Structure 1
Amino acid sequence: MTAQTKLAFWGGLDTIGGNIISIQYEDYRIITDFGALAGVNIMDLLSKETTSNLLEENKLPKIEGLYNKEALKDFPLEAYEVSDIKTIVCLSHLHLDHLGAFGQLPTDLPVYALEDTVNFYLQLDKTNLLPHYQVNWQKVTAEEIIEFGPFKIQFHNSDHDTIGTASIFVEAPDLKIIYSGDFRLTGFQPENVLEWARKAKQFEADLFLVEGTTFSHSASEPNPVDVALAEITHSINAPNEMKLMHSIETIAQANPQRLLAFNGYPQNIERLLVLAELITTLGRTLVMDQTYFELIKPYLTGYLSVKYLDLHHNSEDYSEHAVSLEMLQNSPQHYMVQFDYERHEHIFTLPAGIYFHSNGMPLGSYMPEYEPYVRRFVEAGWDFYHANVSGHASQADLLLVNYLVQAKLVVPWHTFKPAEYGEAIEAIGLKTWLPAYGKEYSSEDIIAFRQAD
């Protein structure tokens, strides 16, 4: 019998994140990604002492030949050490729902990712902003062709709210597959997405695995907490990253004497860098939480006015890179202070000013700590601005990219509502397929799904 590519889906078919697929041809196998399955605590995935329990509890995918023999204990799976299958992992980006199970992988198993992705991971690890994983990293450059047995693999630069995001093209002898990764058209590099979509059309993919986060939530009655907070806060409602920056600039210019404050998402370094440039042009200094300062330091250029907040000194001359609380208290008009939710109490020792809550923690009204957090700022005299921009493509942009790619068959996943997303894709003239867990699909199966009425 002629060999065929075989696919199995292990996560992400009807959840946001936890997307895992294995692509195998004879004894060569690609897995992408390998994040925490939906609902699994990241901390539970750090130690291989718990591997067998996690498998028993369906908190890890039951993939043959992937886990170390010692970690499996008596669990009935073939161990990595004795498997004839040669396996690699390809990583699209650094969010925990895509790499959060790396602690369960054999330490010598090759993990391929863009060079920017790996370098940024090392920074996030160094600053304790991501867990430490012992990984056999294989750095690749965008569009480099990686040959792995019968497979040819290419990573293409994309755009998401973290550095080094990629879409991944896989060519097997009998099947062409594209994994979109997470993406958006409202970030700082939308051209990356449009470029890989153009190349995807030329690639003539048999199968397009495409994220659909924004198809997860239907219009519903607004949350009562959000309604109540809307009366005491402001919303910028920026449709994209650059509009957000322009709005912050306008608000800052209208309040030249007031302290500015910012709480954002640490992996969105591009937002922090553009913000630093903006604040510098306004004649202010961006004063960062020291952890974030260490994270961003390799990406800073010389002319940017960026320092860190030293909470343990009051002298003005102890470091050219540091700013004290005393300096912020005495000259609030000269600064924007960036802080992390875990270390934010010092903010209330400063003069109340303008606060931008920009995809930072706590994330929203579904978190119990959110409402008291917002109210505390308002009651302390701060003008509270919601300043969010999503890391995911809008529904319209998702459909645009699907239409540009023109894949022969589309799997809508990374969404709570794959059927609804699939109907929208079908409405623009494309064929969709909703695979299931626990099944192995051959390239012949996929061709048959594509040809079925």
Structure 2
Amino acid sequence: MKDQTKITFWGGLDTIGGNIVSIQFKDYRIITDFGALAGVNIMDLLSKETTHSHLALGQLPAISGLYPKAAIGDFELESFEESALNTIVCLSHLHLDHLGAFGQLPEELPIYALEEAVDFYKQLEKTSLLPSYAVNWQKVTAESTLQHGPFEIVFHESDHDTVGAASIFIKTPDFKIVYSGDFRLSGFHPEKVLNWAQKAHEFDADLFLVEGTTFSHFASEPNPVDVALAEVTHSINSPNEIKLMNSIEAIAQEHSEQLIAFNGYPQNIERLLVLAELFTTLGRTLVMDQTYFELMKPYLTGYLNVKYLLIDGNASIEVTDEAVSLEMLREMPQHYILQFDYERHEHVFTLPAGVYFHSNGMPLGSYMAEYEPYVRRFVEAGWEFYHANVSGHASQSDLLLVNYLTQAKLVVPWHTFKPDFYGQAIEEIGLQTWLPEYHVEYTAAELSDMIK
């Protein structure tokens, strides 16, 4: 039989995250993303001593020629060293559900990601905000072509709530694939998403692998915890990042004499930078947890008023004019906005209560046991508690817009708990969808025959 592209799905078809697909032509192979499969503890995947047991339990995809021989042990699977395949991994972005199984990979296996993502990963690793993965990082320039045997691979900048997110275009000798990665039109750079969607249309993709996180959510009875907390908190959850900043600014001006506190998501560093700019213009200094300050330093420009909080236990940072003490916050709360990390926040309750913005920080929501007591403690201490979130994922209407703009011949709706529901919505705008099965090898000819 004539050589042709072969595609196998290993994770993410009916879950949020854990997206893993292998694309092979002859003895060359690409794997896109390698996060933890649904239900697997990320911390359990850090050591190769667990590889054999995870494979045996089906908690790692049994992909031939991928894992080190020493890690596989007696599990019946060809090892990386024994394989004649030339394998690389292409990473769409830095979230753990897309890279959380990197600790299981051979150190010499090339991992390709946008240059900005690799640099940011090294900052996150340095500050222990992501695990340390001993892998062979390779930087890719956006829009440039990466050649891997017969494959032509192009990374296009996207917009998600982390730095260096990408969509990935893959051209094989007989098939063209676009992997969307995770994306949104509600971030600071929606034009990046619209740009790659237009390029995908021009690319004339045969297959579009597209995330659908928000098609997992349906109207249901409200969580009793959320109902109870709504009586004692405020919400400025926003449809986009700009609206969120406008809301925060208005509230800050109303409370100009009080301390403001903020708990955010470290990978959304652009929100932190815009926040720093906003409060600099309002005459306040953003005072950061030491870990976040170190993460931010390479991205700070001279005019921004950003310093770190000097408290017991962070003397590893030399005390300079970049430091702000708790006493300074108590004496002049109106001059500051305090950013803090959930794991290091007890000092907040030694400060005068003010306005607190909970902005996609930990704990994430009412499905976590620690969430309700966390919120209530702030409220009982006298803080005005604001939920101030923006999703990292496109809305249902925005997902359909990008699908329609892309106009792929065949669409796989994945990265959602409801791929059938998402697929139906895609079909209703005139596109053809396909719901593949796990661990089945599909050929380009088979997929081409499906296309109407």
> Deviation per CA, 1:137-158, whole angstroms, max 9, x where unpaired?
1101001101110000000000
Which amino acid is 1:280 matched to?
T
Q: How does 1:54-453 map to 2 (within 5 A)?
A: 54-312=54-312, 318-451=319-452
For the residue of structure 1 that corresponds to 2:343, the secondary structure is helix
Corresponding residue for residue 23 of structure 2: 23
For the residue of structure 1 that corresponds to 2:81, the secondary structure is helix
CA distance in 2, matches of 1:424, 1:145: 33
Which amino acid is 2:390 matched to?
V
CA distance in 1, matches of 2:369, 2:232: 18
Which amino acid is 1:426 matched to?
E
In the TM superposition, residue 432 of structure 1 has moved relative to its aligned partner by 0.1
In the TM superposition, residue 313 of structure 1 has moved relative to its aligned partner by 9.4
For the residue of structure 2 that corresponds to 1:348, the secondary structure is helix
TM-score for the superposition, normalised by structure 2: 0.98
> Deviation per CA, 1:14-66, whole angstroms, max 9, x where unpaired?
00000000000000000001011111001110111111101001110000000
Greater CA drift, 427-436 or 222-231: 222-231
CA distance in 2, matches of 1:184, 1:92: 14
CA distance in 1, matches of 2:12, 2:299: 33
Indicate if the aligned counterparts of 1:313 and 1:324 stay in contact, CA closer than 8 A: no
> Deviation per CA, 1:249-271, whole angstroms, max 9, x where unpaired?
00001111000000000100000
For the residue of structure 1 that corresponds to 2:358, the secondary structure is strand
For the residue of structure 1 that corresponds to 2:404, the secondary structure is helix
Which amino acid is 1:238 matched to?
S
CA distance in 2, matches of 1:95, 1:387: 21
CA distance in 2, matches of 1:449, 1:415: 23
Which amino acid is 2:445 matched to?
E
Indicate if the aligned counterparts of 1:182 and 1:211 stay in contact, CA closer than 8 A: yes
CA distance in 1, matches of 2:31, 2:310: 43
In the TM superposition, residue 237 of structure 1 has moved relative to its aligned partner by 2.7
The root-mean-square deviation of aligned C-alpha atoms, in Å, is: 1.2
For the residue of structure 2 that corresponds to 1:437, the secondary structure is coil
Greater CA drift, 50-59 or 162-171: 50-59
In the TM superposition, residue 90 of structure 1 has moved relative to its aligned partner by 0.1
Which amino acid is 2:180 matched to?
S
For the residue of structure 2 that corresponds to 1:80, the secondary structure is coil
The gaps in structure 1 that reach 5 residues or longer are none
CA distance in 2, matches of 1:234, 1:191: 31
CA distance in 2, matches of 1:279, 1:37: 40
CA distance in 1, matches of 2:49, 2:224: 43
In the TM superposition, residue 82 of structure 1 has moved relative to its aligned partner by 1.2
Which amino acid is 1:9 matched to?
F
Indicate if the aligned counterparts of 1:47 and 1:103 stay in contact, CA closer than 8 A: yes
Which amino acid is 2:38 matched to?
A
Which amino acid is 1:425 matched to?
I
For the residue of structure 2 that corresponds to 1:34, the secondary structure is coil
Which amino acid is 2:434 matched to?
W
CA distance in 2, matches of 1:113, 1:145: 13
For the residue of structure 2 that corresponds to 1:262, the secondary structure is strand
> Deviation per CA, 1:241-290, whole angstroms, max 9, x where unpaired?
01100110000011110000000001000000000000100000000000
Indicate if the aligned counterparts of 1:33 and 1:98 stay in contact, CA closer than 8 A: yes
Distance 1:313 1:417, change over 3 A: closer
Which amino acid is 1:226 matched to?
D
The gaps in structure 2 that reach 5 residues or longer are none
Which amino acid is 1:258 matched to?
Q
Which amino acid is 1:442 matched to?
T
Indicate if the aligned counterparts of 1:143 and 1:154 stay in contact, CA closer than 8 A: yes
Which amino acid is 1:369 matched to?
E
> Deviation per CA, 1:158-188, whole angstroms, max 9, x where unpaired?
0000000000000000000000000000000
For the residue of structure 1 that corresponds to 2:170, the secondary structure is strand
CA distance in 1, matches of 2:379, 2:402: 41
For the residue of structure 2 that corresponds to 1:343, the secondary structure is coil
> Deviation per CA, 1:307-349, whole angstroms, max 9, x where unpaired?
00010399xx952111010000111000000000000111000
Give the share of equivalent positions with the same residue, in percent: 75
CA distance in 1, matches of 2:183, 2:75: 37
In the TM superposition, residue 450 of structure 1 has moved relative to its aligned partner by 1.6
Greater CA drift, 422-431 or 132-141: 132-141
CA distance in 2, matches of 1:372, 1:450: 53
For the residue of structure 1 that corresponds to 2:250, the secondary structure is helix
> Deviation per CA, 1:365-417, whole angstroms, max 9, x where unpaired?
00011011111100100000000000000000000000000000000000000
Give the number of aligned pairs: 450
In the TM superposition, residue 449 of structure 1 has moved relative to its aligned partner by 1.9
Which amino acid is 2:250 matched to?
T
> Deviation per CA, 1:183-203, whole angstroms, max 9, x where unpaired?
000000000000000000000
Which amino acid is 1:394 matched to?
S
Distance 1:397 1:332, change over 3 A: same
Deviating runs (4+, > 3 A) in structure 1? none
CA distance in 2, matches of 1:106, 1:8: 21
